[in-house]
Structure 1
Amino acid sequence: MSRLADMGTIRGTNIGGVFLIEPFIRPSLFDQFNTSTVAELPVDEWTFSAALGKAEARRQLEEHWDTFVTRDHLEEMAEYGINWIRIPIGYWAFNLTADEPFVDGQIPYVERLLGWAQEIGLKVELDLHGAPGSQNGYDNSGHRVSPQWLYSRINVDRTLDALRQMTQLAIEWSDVVYGIQILNEPSRWKWPVSQILEFYNEAYDLVRGMTDDVFFMVHDTFLGPNDWGQLVSANWTDALMDTHIYQMFDNYIITLSESAHIDMVATMAENVTRFDRTSIGVVVGEFSAATHDCTRYINGFGRGSRWDGSLEGVGHPLCPLATCTCTGDYGGDYTQFSASYRAFLSRYVDAQLGIYDELAGWFYWNFRTESAPEWDYLLGVQQGWFPKFPRTAEPLVSKEEPEVSDIGSASPAPPSARRLRRAALALGAAALLAVVV
């Protein structure tokens, strides 16, 4: 029997904004820039790295990778009842060309995170979050630009190469990695669904040609559940459909009252729960406690909000209140939240979990932020609007001798296959990679 059988409910968090930075998760990385025009401001990891240059970008990002997520964060989440984490990674961690401004070097930190997950007992989903040319044009792809991904076979081949290396990483950490998401949020508005399915099938053949021992996970491209059949193939095994459910990126939904937002949870999830799960399960890979878009940079660096009417193209405030300001309950300081708003957040989260727990499970976005309270899982539990569950994560036994991390350690251990491959990926040393793969 597959080890994936009878897994129980996934209760996870996203480790977002670490190995692919997003302005709203860590705005301090972007607030450092002072340019003469808004057009020159970095808005994503591509322009962030280009503005700083590779040496300084590497220095700042290595500090970020080293400190923004820690073992203590993972242990705390496990104590609160989290049993999975989803780790978004950009393609450039695996496949970077000299003409791109990105910097690589993420993999040793990813492996350190996998080691912590192993020690704590968390299962892991590896998520290819950004593809060459951008699969959706959002900053969460690493490059906020008109999407070019599927226009180039070179882009597709590079995406598959990154996925191959990610799958190899999953195989080497098979006691920890239980899922691979082949690509986050490819845009059905840019390319026909049939072309996206072609990529999905290529990716399936690649992953299953290497391992049968992970969930094969695909995103729904924001199609409604009634149309998900266009995105799956009958021969897939151990597959999960990933859907992201948010209530703040729509001009109509932003106008709803608190009670209407809670009612909307069931409306938005109704067809999700009806999807035929005999061949493919459903996981809500992203959701949050937010029902407004006041969060700084949530619509992208330098952009405003629908809530107060400052978002380009909106023209007037859309919030359901007499005064639409991004302060108090709708600001970035949770200490200013009223008791009634905190109670609403709790009811809204409970309404979502009541449905998502009946699916394959869920991953909250995000595990933490700098100043986006409704998007911060750890803060939500600490402040009482996200519930705790009994701890189910149990420490796993390593399949190889313990090794001392080469990150921040003065006592290096003898090189293992994992460590040799880690060096090969970081240095781009194809010859060394061939020795250990």
Structure 2
Amino acid sequence: MRLNQYALFTSLLVCGSLAWLPGEHRQILSRDGVDLFNRSSLHEAGLLKKRYLPHDYGNDKNAIRGVNLGSLFIVENWLSDDVFKGFGCNSKSEFDCVSSINDQAKANSNFQGHWGSWITKDDFTQMVSYGLNTVRIPVGYWFLESIVDKSEHFPQGGEQYLDEVVGWAKDAGLYVIIVLHGAPGAQATDAFTGQLNSNPGFYGDYNYNRAYQWLEWMTNKVHTNPAYSTVGMLELVNEPERLFDASKYPSVQANTDSMRNTYYPTAWSKIRDAESSLKVSSDSQLSIQMMDQKWGSGDPKQYLTDLYLAAYDDHQYVKYAGVAEDKDAYIKFSCGDNRSGNWPVFVGEWSLSVATDVQWTDAWNPNRDENKDFYRKWWAAQVMSYEKTAQGWVFWTWKTSGSLNDPRWDYKMAVSAGLIPTDIDSAYTMGACS
């Protein structure tokens, strides 16, 4: 990261709010006045880049290198089954858990305990020490409590914890991507939406309107709350339905068409209108992210007339890619894995997990010393591909808990287990793709 000091306001005014991407080097002052620029090394300082134009980011060698905060604000039982167990829930989703507790005050207390302890400020310090520069934060629509229906069951009181976590990321000098991971009505048949809805209800005017309110609320936070000064990207919705599921779910085609021709253009306008009302300058606007065309929901930009600061999210779990169950095949696949498409694109979710039927056999067990070299090289192969054919990556996820106990899904655990080095640049010297 190069030298070029540039003062950042210690307290953001609406007209001067700045957003960033990793790369260009600026002074970063934490909320308590610590000068992060003048630490012992630029790498440690977590220096960030002013918001970029899509066509010029490819000229910068610095890529997004990050981790997701999965299961923090949307608990996913498979990642952290001890959380719901601790609440006395035998549930797979937050909606079901809160419903089963049948006591809103108790549910609130349980979830607030989780939000206040599962990720700490020290986690962000550790991320920076591992060479990471970005966090992607999945959030549910219910954090804006005014748009939650009385018929919906979600924990309350999350906003202050979100503010705190985003502030810790800012204090560490980390770039932040916030994603609407749980949309009103659920955008997919999966508990990552916060509810298990067999017929996703997101794709209609009522729930689109609630999502627009959420996006406006978040946009206002970014540009008026100093804790959000390193939030540079807002994702309109995580992992919507995909066209190749249409044979199972006849509504998918209509849903994806509606999302692209109605939700995306209107959501885009709502964000830009909110910024305009706050007098945010064009070079300080949010990057707006949508799932890349490779995801399978169609071309996200098909009905957009404005692509200024557009960005795209590509998720690649090789575990599900049908690669031959052979270590060399995994590395060869990832070395040649071209993730380019809509531009600029970031691989916003990926892992080191392998095919389910072999993952805990002796030949693939990550806890066996003889397998660690494979996982290091496969990590390196993915890092290089995602930095060569995309603009960087965000690993799923930073931390897990409970019975999963698998470093292939847990960046923090993978570093401790020796599967991921703390020097990310070493990916280029391991010979994984030579």
Same fold (TM over 0.5): yes
Match of 1:263 among 316, 322, 332: 332
1:114 is displaced (CA, Å) by: 1.7
> Could you say which residue in structure 2 is the equivalent of 1:200?
264
> Could you say which residue in structure 1 is the equivalent of 2:63?
9
Residues 260 and 205 (structure 1), Cα distance of their counterparts in 2 relative to 1, 3 Å cut: same
Unaligned runs of 5+ in 2: 1-17, 20-49, 246-251, 276-281, 426-434
SS at match of 1:72: helix
CA–CA distance in structure 2, aligned partners of residues 389 and 235 of structure 1: 38
| Matching of residue 58 in structure 1 with residue 108 in structure 2 | yes
Q: What is the 5 A alignment of 1:345-364? A: 345-358=375-388, 359-364=390-395
| Matching of residue 285 in structure 1 with residue 348 in structure 2 | yes
Residues 13 and 27 (structure 1), Cα distance of their counterparts in 2 relative to 1, 3 Å cut: same
1:140 is displaced (CA, Å) by: 0.5
TM-score of the pair, normalised by structure 2:
0.73
Q: What is the 5 A alignment of 1:106-121? A: 106-121=158-173
SS at match of 2:344: strand
SS at match of 1:149: coil
Does structure 2 retain, via aligned residues, the 8 Å contact 1:86–1:363? yes
| Matching of residue 153 in structure 1 with residue 205 in structure 2 | yes
SS at match of 1:248: helix
| Matching of residue 137 in structure 1 with residue 189 in structure 2 | yes
CA–CA distance in structure 1, aligned partners of residues 208 and 397 of structure 2: 28
Q: Deviations over 1:75-104 (max 9, x none)?
A: 000111111111100011113222211122
1:187 is displaced (CA, Å) by: 0.5
Match of 2:130 among 76, 80, 90: 80
> Could you say which residue in structure 2 is the equivalent of 1:343?
373
Residues 34 and 97 (structure 1), Cα distance of their counterparts in 2 relative to 1, 3 Å cut: closer
SS at match of 1:124: strand
- AA in 2 matched with 1:92: W
The structure showing larger relative contact order (alpha-carbon pairs under 8 Å, at least 6 residues apart) is: 1
CA–CA distance in structure 1, aligned partners of residues 199 and 378 of structure 2: 34
1:230 is displaced (CA, Å) by: 5.8
Does structure 2 retain, via aligned residues, the 8 Å contact 1:132–1:159? yes
Match of 2:418 among 384, 390, 401: 384
Q: What is the 5 A alignment of 1:13-412? A: 13-31=67-85, 41-53=90-102, 54-94=104-144, 95-173=147-225, 175-188=229-242, 189=245, 190-192=252-254, 193-198=256-261, 199-211=263-275, 212=282, 213-220=285-292, 223=295, 228=299, 231=302, 233-249=304-320, 252-253=322-323, 256-267=325-336, 269-270=337-338, 272-273=339-340, 275=341, 280-293=343-356, 307=357, 319=358, 326=360, 337-358=367-388, 359-370=390-401, 371-389=405-423
Unaligned runs of 5+ in 1: 36-40, 294-306, 308-318, 320-324, 392-437
CA–CA distance in structure 2, aligned partners of residues 326 and 231 of structure 1: 43
**What CA RMSD, in Å, does the superposition of the two structures yield over aligned residues?**
2.6
SS at match of 2:394: strand
Q: Deviations over 1:98-154 (max 9, x none)?
A: 221112211111111122122111111111101121101111111122133344321
Larger mean Cα displacement after TM superposition, 90-99 or 15-24: 90-99
Residues matched between the structures, number: 344
CA–CA distance in structure 2, aligned partners of residues 231 and 378 of structure 1: 38
CA–CA distance in structure 1, aligned partners of residues 393 and 351 of structure 2: 11
